[in-house]
Amino acid sequence: MSKSIRKYLIAGNWKMNLNAAEGAELAAEVAALSGQQNTVGVAVCPPFPALASVAKAIEGSSISLGAQNMHYQPSGAYTGEVSAEMLRHHFCSYVILGHSERREFFAEDDAFINRKVKAALEANLRPILCVGETLAQRESDETIAVVKHQVEGGLAGVSKDAIDQVVIAYEPVWAIGTGKTATPEMAQAVHAAIRSIVADLYDATSAAKVRILYGGSMKPENAAELLAQADIDGGLIGGASLKASAFHEIVTAALA
């Protein structure tokens, strides 16, 4: 299974940071630094109110736009929610789904996330499905079982035709925003396991096409080593995506 059939994706998860004006400013810097090449896929995922201004700021560059969440219904009485179609209208190509912060603080479970994954695909949005174990689960040797459950649950009912549109992000919860990173070997082991779970669910060809990103304190200092691993196809970057120069250094590591 050659890695060269998978294009790296470096995606910035801005979380609940930056208003529309600040977001446009950062996005313009990202576009100037990282948006003049097309070898590595680059995406920024601002909060909803910044989608329009960021879309404008990245126009004409190779940077893609992503959102951080959505509802699975196309419209209706769901106060506070946005639909896949609304995100498409704002030129989003990606949507982060099932981030551990949503699982933890908003009680999202695999079945709920799965409905969103399917709705995103139907709307031609590429889901970035996040999975990952907590520290307690890692310490009790449950990492692969937890990730398997999340991958199978998140992908339930997703057809073989659609699977190569899905991006999976492995984000060990204990590494998110903590400065603690999984070692490249630890990350690679889980990434390889995820790819074989996808192969079992679909087939080896599909599994070879699915991009699996690493997330959890990825930064310029550790990006090259992580990205060099056979099954790591990019990064979902939180903290380090809020500075265009640091984010660009990670893109550069993927280009090397």
Nearest to ligand PGA of 151, 162 (CB atom)? 151
Cβ atoms within 10 A of the Cβ of 226, count?
25
Please report, as a single letter, which amino acid is at residue 17. Answer: N
First CA to last CA distance, the chain: 20
- Judge contact between 50 and 17, C-beta under 8 A: no
Of these residues, 171, 191, 248, 249, which one is catalytic? Answer: 171
Question: What single DSSP character describes residue 125?
Answer: P
Nearest to ligand PGA of 67, 162 (CB atom)? 67
Q: Measured from the CB of residue 71, what is the shortest distance to ligand PGA in angstroms?
A: 20
State the residues that interact with ligand PGA by CB under 6 A: 13, 171, 176-177, 215-218, 236-240
Cβ atoms within 10 A of the Cβ of 123, count?
17
Nearest to ligand PGA of 23, 239 (CB atom)? 239
Nearest to ligand PGA of 23, 216 (CB atom)? 216
Q: Is 171 a catalytic residue?
A: yes
Q: Measured from the CB of residue 240, what is the shortest distance to ligand PGA in angstroms?
A: 6
Q: Is 99 a catalytic residue?
A: yes
Q: Measured from the CB of residue 242, what is the shortest distance to ligand PGA in angstroms?
A: 9
Q: Measured from the CB of residue 40, what is the shortest distance to ligand PGA in angstroms?
A: 17
- 164's enclosing H/E stretch is none
Nearest to 66 by CA among 97, 103, 98, 34: 97
Q: How far apart, in whole angstroms, are the C-alpha atoms of residue 205 and residue 193? A: 15
Catalytic residues: 99, 171
